[in-house]
Protein backbone atom coordinates (compact mmCIF):
# COMPACT_ATOMS: atom_id res chain seq x y z
CA UNK A 1 0.00 0.00 0.00
CA UNK A 2 1.56 3.29 -1.02
CA UNK A 3 1.43 6.59 0.84
CA UNK A 4 -1.53 7.96 -1.15
CA UNK A 5 -3.69 4.96 -0.28
CA UNK A 6 -2.69 5.35 3.38
CA UNK A 7 -3.75 9.01 3.36
CA UNK A 8 -7.08 8.25 1.70
CA UNK A 9 -7.85 5.45 4.14
CA UNK A 10 -6.97 7.71 7.07
CA UNK A 11 -9.31 10.40 5.71
CA UNK A 12 -12.11 7.84 5.33
CA UNK A 13 -11.65 6.70 8.94
CA UNK A 14 -11.75 10.30 10.16
CA UNK A 15 -14.96 11.00 8.22
CA UNK A 16 -16.57 7.80 9.54
CA UNK A 17 -15.67 8.81 13.11
CA UNK A 18 -17.05 12.32 12.58
CA UNK A 19 -20.30 10.95 11.09
CA UNK A 20 -20.79 8.61 14.07
CA UNK A 21 -20.18 11.48 16.50
CA UNK A 22 -22.61 13.76 14.61
CA UNK A 23 -19.87 16.25 13.82
CA UNK A 24 -19.58 17.86 10.42
CA UNK A 25 -16.01 18.53 9.32
CA UNK A 26 -15.62 21.65 7.18
CA UNK A 27 -13.05 22.12 4.44
CA UNK A 28 -11.03 24.32 6.78
CA UNK A 29 -10.76 21.44 9.20
CA UNK A 30 -12.95 22.91 11.95
CA UNK A 31 -15.88 20.91 13.34
CA UNK A 32 -19.45 22.15 13.15
CA UNK A 33 -22.29 20.56 15.08
CA UNK A 34 -24.91 19.85 12.43
CA UNK A 35 -26.81 16.95 10.92
CA UNK A 36 -26.27 18.05 7.30
CA UNK A 37 -23.13 18.13 5.29
CA UNK A 38 -21.56 21.28 3.88
CA UNK A 39 -21.73 21.66 0.10
CA UNK A 40 -18.54 20.64 -1.68
CA UNK A 41 -17.33 18.18 0.93
CA UNK A 42 -16.72 14.62 -0.16
CA UNK A 43 -18.91 11.92 1.35
CA UNK A 44 -17.70 8.53 2.42
CA UNK A 45 -19.40 6.96 -0.58
CA UNK A 46 -17.83 9.36 -3.06
CA UNK A 47 -14.37 8.83 -1.56
CA UNK A 48 -14.72 5.05 -1.71
CA UNK A 49 -15.96 5.24 -5.33
CA UNK A 50 -13.03 7.45 -6.20
CA UNK A 51 -10.64 5.01 -4.54
CA UNK A 52 -12.15 2.12 -6.52
CA UNK A 53 -11.85 4.04 -9.78
CA UNK A 54 -8.19 4.87 -9.06
CA UNK A 55 -7.49 1.19 -8.38
CA UNK A 56 -9.25 0.18 -11.62
CA UNK A 57 -7.24 2.74 -13.60
CA UNK A 58 -4.04 1.39 -12.04
CA UNK A 59 -4.99 -2.15 -13.08
CA UNK A 60 -5.75 -1.05 -16.64
CA UNK A 61 -2.45 0.85 -16.85
CA UNK A 62 -0.53 -2.13 -15.52
CA UNK A 63 -2.11 -4.48 -18.06
CA UNK A 64 -1.35 -2.01 -20.88
CA UNK A 65 2.29 -1.92 -19.75
CA UNK A 66 2.44 -5.71 -19.81
CA UNK A 67 0.96 -5.86 -23.32
CA UNK A 68 3.39 -3.25 -24.64
CA UNK A 69 6.35 -5.05 -23.04
CA UNK A 70 5.30 -8.30 -24.71
CA UNK A 71 4.96 -6.59 -28.10
CA UNK A 72 8.34 -4.92 -27.67
CA UNK A 73 10.01 -8.22 -26.78
CA UNK A 74 8.44 -9.90 -29.83
CA UNK A 75 9.60 -7.11 -32.16
CA UNK A 76 13.09 -7.29 -30.68
CA UNK A 77 13.26 -11.08 -31.27
CA UNK A 78 12.13 -10.63 -34.88
CA UNK A 79 14.70 -7.89 -35.42
CA UNK A 80 17.50 -10.13 -34.16
CA UNK A 81 16.45 -12.81 -36.63
CA UNK A 82 16.43 -10.31 -39.53
CA UNK A 83 19.74 -8.65 -38.70
CA UNK A 84 21.94 -11.15 -40.60
CA UNK A 85 19.97 -10.50 -43.80
CA UNK A 86 20.58 -6.77 -43.55
CA UNK A 87 24.28 -7.21 -42.90
CA UNK A 88 24.65 -9.68 -45.78
CA UNK A 89 22.89 -7.38 -48.24
CA UNK A 90 25.06 -4.46 -47.14
CA UNK A 91 28.22 -6.51 -47.75
CA UNK A 92 26.89 -7.56 -51.17
CA UNK A 93 26.24 -3.95 -52.26
CA UNK A 94 29.61 -2.80 -50.95
CA UNK A 95 31.46 -5.47 -52.94
CA UNK A 96 29.37 -5.10 -56.11
CA UNK A 97 30.78 -1.60 -56.77
CA UNK A 98 27.78 -0.55 -58.83
CA UNK A 99 28.04 3.02 -60.10
CA UNK A 100 25.52 5.16 -61.91
CA UNK A 101 26.60 6.25 -65.40
CA UNK A 102 26.95 10.02 -65.70
CA UNK A 103 24.86 10.23 -68.88
CA UNK A 104 21.91 8.26 -67.44
CA UNK A 105 18.59 10.05 -68.05
CA UNK A 106 16.23 7.56 -66.44
CA UNK A 107 15.78 7.13 -62.72
CA UNK A 108 14.41 4.17 -60.85
CA UNK A 109 12.33 5.02 -57.81
CA UNK A 110 11.00 2.26 -55.59
CA UNK A 111 7.92 3.22 -53.62
CA UNK A 112 7.20 1.36 -50.41
CA UNK A 113 3.82 1.54 -48.78
CA UNK A 114 1.81 -0.39 -46.22
CA UNK A 115 -0.69 -3.19 -46.69
CA UNK A 116 -1.87 -3.39 -43.07
CA UNK A 117 -3.53 -1.22 -40.50
CA UNK A 118 -5.25 2.12 -40.67
CA UNK A 119 -2.90 3.88 -43.08
CA UNK A 120 -5.46 6.27 -44.55
CA UNK A 121 -4.33 8.12 -47.66
CA UNK A 122 -0.71 7.01 -47.49
CA UNK A 123 -0.91 5.14 -50.80
CA UNK A 124 -2.06 8.18 -52.78
CA UNK A 125 0.40 10.42 -50.92
CA UNK A 126 3.32 8.18 -51.87
CA UNK A 127 2.17 8.22 -55.50
CA UNK A 128 1.82 12.01 -55.54
CA UNK A 129 5.24 12.43 -53.96
CA UNK A 130 6.87 10.28 -56.64
CA UNK A 131 5.10 12.15 -59.45
CA UNK A 132 6.30 15.50 -58.06
CA UNK A 133 9.90 14.24 -57.87
CA UNK A 134 9.96 13.29 -61.59
For residue range 65-104, what is the model confidence (pLDDT) as tens digits?
999 999 999 999 999 998 888 888 888 888 887 776 777 7
Q: Answer yes or no: is pLDDT of 38 > 70.
A: no
Highest mean pLDDT among 67-71, 115-119, 128-132: 67-71
Helices (H), the chain: 3-21, 44-96, 122-133
Residue 134 falls inside a structural domain: no
Q: Which residue has the higher pLDDT, 125 or 22?
A: 125
- The pLDDT of residue 113 is 76
- The pLDDT of residue 103 is 78
List of residues 6+ apart from 130 with CB closer than 8 A: 109, 111
Residue 26 falls inside a structural domain: yes
Work out the average pLDDT over 18-42.
Answer: 55
Work out the average pLDDT over 116-121.
Answer: 68
Residue 108 falls inside a structural domain: no
Q: Which residue has the higher pLDDT, 132 or 27?
A: 132
Number of folded domains that form the chain: 1
- What is the DSSP track for 57-87? HHHHHHHHHHHHHHHHHHHHHHHHHHHHHHH
* Overall pTM > 0.95: no
- The pLDDT of residue 34 is 46
Residue 25 to residue 46: CA distance in whole angstroms: 16
Q: Which domain holds residue 32?
A: 3-99
Backbone phi and psi for residue 109, each to the nearest 5 degrees, phi listed first = -115, 130
- The pLDDT of residue 104 is 72
Residue 67 falls inside a structural domain: yes
Residue 133 falls inside a structural domain: no
CA 72 to chain centre: 13
Residue 121 falls inside a structural domain: no
Per-residue confidence band for 132, with pLDDT thresholds at 50, 70 and 90:
confident
Amino acid sequence: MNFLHFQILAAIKNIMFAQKAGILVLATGGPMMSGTQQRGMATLKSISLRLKSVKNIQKITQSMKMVSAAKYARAERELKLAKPFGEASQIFYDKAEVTVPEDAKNKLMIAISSDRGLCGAIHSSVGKHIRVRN
